[in-house]
Structure 1
């Protein structure tokens, strides 16, 4: 029995939840996949999957075997690449899921330097702002970047940055309407809100005393990028994460205000499967994410 093929077929079936989907991914017939799993179970002397007419899932023994199989296949891939190139970190495809604004503003502009350093790595990026639980293995992602406090025992969470919430407006808007000195001054300004921030903006003074201002404005925009563009265009004052407007702050397109009253924003973290060996190509990408999210 070809053990490597058997392990590859087994992990594909486990990750895709069925023989048909696994066969499609492997380019094999469904009958060949089924026979391979049957032979593997016979050789191991145990049942790896619970089979029903509607669903296929791993047994307890199957889940334990899956975790070991993934480790073995990943180690084998690393060993082969190391022999071929002498540097396993410089080859392969990385599939990542990232928030739209974070990807557009912070990640994508820095990708040329990363890909220049690792020319044999390719990046497959998907963009999505939902923080709903995701099965990275089943979806085929190596890592995901998420905003907010994430709790999932299946995933390892590494915080990239916890940046302050910033309040900004364009120099033209501030010249025309004045610069707010206190949070209460916002009541006399056009404040552009978003679905995530809402109209209740929270501030804190140097002693930690909090103030919540119910701001008003003539627009509510369901997009971080749209909020940023509105501020740059001089429409009004916006509230957002530092990384959303970091480039505009550097280039002077917007100006930060009420900095003495800033509060901490939601963390941005990178997540990857807890039960999977982390390939070196992903490790260098993680280091890259850490480097581009440093404040300063």
Structure 2
């Protein structure tokens, strides 16, 4: 028999004072009540109750066991109540991963709002432009930019596409001139992201077709913010995410180049594990991010 059920029957027998009263309360037969008590006694190797035709009483061991059973069953009730409460509110720790520029300029401010709304949640935010294995790194939620890889046990929810701009400072353009087409980038000083997929070619969409052009890369840096700073100092032309450059463009510190030839937009997804996506802290964070980003990334 189920040990927890037998313990519950035993406690009810003690509190009701008889097998018959306990049977009525639990809607079990008297025989079944007796089997539960007998099973416990056989398992424990000692008697729990002294029974006569007229009355019953606890043995010394039975009294101690009754108190322990009451506490165990109360702890189980508390645990189930806590679990039910967790289904309604977010609490606990989350590990979230995101590419650097999107994480700094978009995700961090949004997480600040989320944590203000759910103060019992804590977040470990990992900003990295390298590929991350969610299972190996212990990541609960990951923002992924680019084509989806093998999904296995992951669930992907789409976000707005991620756009990049080609920009340079007014000082650089005054000194070197303004490129009229992507192919003229070979005659300019360009600043690129130090990544194997970036290389010395930049991709564009021109008149509905994809175009790749070689660029004169005079500096490669593995950080978008550092590339931005170099461009602001007039060192050359950069292609970087709109979320990183938007404020500088609005302030006139950088100018957008080649408006008719835009870098291809990249798909963005929120990734979670299929078997954990309904945990309140994960479910509520994903819903919050989808709501905040549905019209585009805040700039």
| TM-score, normalised with respect to structure 1 | 0.63
SS of 1:267's equivalent? strand
CA distance in 2: counterparts of 1:245 and 1:178, whole angstroms: 20
Per the alignment, residue 106 of structure 1 pairs with 106
Tell me, yes or no, if structure 1 residue 88 matches structure 2 residue 89. Answer: yes
1:151-192 Cα distance to aligned partner (Å, 9 max, x none): 212100122232233211123322333322211222221111
Residues matched between the structures, number: 218
Mapped contact 1:106–1:292 kept (Cα < 8 A):
no
- 1:1-296 matched pairs, under 5 angstroms: 79-81=84-86, 87-89=88-90, 91-135=91-135, 139-150=137-148, 151-196=150-195, 197-206=198-207, 208-290=208-290, 291-292=292-293, 294-295=296-297
Mapped contact 2:144–2:270 kept (Cα < 8 A):
yes
Is the strand fraction higher in 1 or 2?
Answer: 2
Instruction: Tell me: CA distance 1:201–1:274, structure 2 relative to 1, closer, same or farther (3 Å).
Output: same
Instruction: Tell me: CA distance 1:267–1:184, structure 2 relative to 1, closer, same or farther (3 Å).
Output: same
SS of 1:130's equivalent? coil
Deviation, 1:76, is 7.3
Mapped contact 1:103–1:127 kept (Cα < 8 A):
yes
Instruction: Tell me: CA distance 1:172–1:280, structure 2 relative to 1, closer, same or farther (3 Å).
Output: farther
Deviation, 1:143, is 0.9
CA distance in 2: counterparts of 1:247 and 1:171, whole angstroms: 15
Instruction: Tell me: CA distance 1:236–1:277, structure 2 relative to 1, closer, same or farther (3 Å).
Output: closer
SS of 2:152's equivalent? coil
1:24-53 Cα distance to aligned partner (Å, 9 max, x none): xxxxxxxxxxxxxxxxxxxxxxxxxxxxxx
Deviation, 1:2, is 9.4
Structure 2 unpaired stretches of 5+: 5-79
Instruction: Tell me: CA distance 1:272–1:77, structure 2 relative to 1, closer, same or farther (3 Å).
Output: farther
Deviation, 1:292, is 4.3
SS of 1:259's equivalent? coil
Deviation, 1:77, is 5.7
Mapped contact 2:86–2:280 kept (Cα < 8 A):
no
CA distance in 2: counterparts of 1:178 and 1:172, whole angstroms: 10
Mapped contact 1:168–1:237 kept (Cα < 8 A):
yes
Mapped contact 2:205–2:264 kept (Cα < 8 A):
no
User: Which structure has the bigger radius of gyration?
Assistant: 2
CA distance in 2: counterparts of 1:2 and 1:175, whole angstroms: 83
CA distance in 1: counterparts of 2:106 and 2:269, whole angstroms: 14
Deviation, 1:215, is 0.9
Mapped contact 2:134–2:140 kept (Cα < 8 A):
no
Mapped contact 1:78–1:88 kept (Cα < 8 A):
no
SS of 1:192's equivalent? strand
1:65-113 Cα distance to aligned partner (Å, 9 max, x none): xxxxxxxxxx97651236xxxx514x33322122222212222234333
CA distance in 2: counterparts of 1:260 and 1:154, whole angstroms: 40
CA distance in 2: counterparts of 1:250 and 1:94, whole angstroms: 35
Structure 1 consecutive aligned stretches of length 4 or more whose deviation exceeds 4 Å: 75-78
